[in-house]
Amino acid sequence: PPPEFLLIRADGLAFDDGSFDAVTAFGAFHWFATAASIAELRRVLRPGGHLVVVNKRDAGSFADDIVRIVARHVPLAVASPKTGYDPAALMEAHRFIDVSSHAVVSTESLSAPQAVAHARSLRLWEDVPPALYRTIENDLSDYVSARLGAAGRLVRDLTTVVVSGRKPADIG
């Protein structure tokens, strides 16, 4: 059967206790890394089940440059979703065991429209009034265009961090 997709809050999962062998969050955990949500993730994991969190982090100046460009037009309430965000420490604090963290350095190649779309996907875009979208998108496009390589792509350095932990077999 095809997979089923549900849009539900992480702090109120509609699944029975121990329903899953693994729970994953790719590039989103920082949005719901609260005590209530982590308790729910633990609850729906079977004993011995794994929580795996994957985050891409800008290893160069791309994200900071986006913040600077947007901040020229709008005072930013929050430019980063979580200051001091540490998924491994969160897992350990919520009694996950065998917590490990692995970083992989890579690059990402973006076309100019993809780079602007990436900027629009960041939390800071919520502080941008719709009347300024086009102006800021034009500034972002100028920034990206000035940095395109010979293949017409912006190459962005990334660090992808994979953090995993296991629910102890002897605890609910």
Place of tokens 């992480």: 10
pTM: 0.76
Q: What is the mean pLDDT of residues 137-155?
A: 93
Q: Shortest CA distance to 75 belongs to which of 30, 128, 37?
A: 128
Q: 116 with 144: CB under 8 angstroms? A: yes
Supply the pLDDT for residue 36.
92
Q: Which residues lie below 8 Å from residue 31, measured CB to CB, with a gap of 6+?
A: 81
- Identify the burial level of 164 via C-beta atoms within 10 angstroms of its C-beta, where 0-12 means exposed, 13-18 middle and 19 or more buried: buried
Tens digits of per-residue pLDDT, 61-92?
888 899 889 988 988 765 554 567 899 999 99
Mean pLDDT score across all residues of the chain: 89
Q: Side chain identity at 50, as an amino acid letter?
A: H
Q: What is the pLDDT of residue 82?
A: 54
The one-letter code for the residue type at 44 is V
Higher per-residue pLDDT: 81 or 101: 101
How confident is the model at residue 5, as a pLDDT? 80
Name which of 81, 55, 83 is nearest 163 in CA terms.
55
pLDDT digits (tens, 9 = 90+) for 23-48: 999 888 888 888 899 999 999 999 99
Helices (H), the chain: 35-44, 62-71, 87-93, 112-121, 133-145
Q: How confident is the model at residue 56, as a pLDDT?
A: 86
Higher-pLDDT residue of 5, 158: 158
> What is the model's pLDDT at position 79?
52
Q: Which residue has the tokens 């973006």?
A: 110
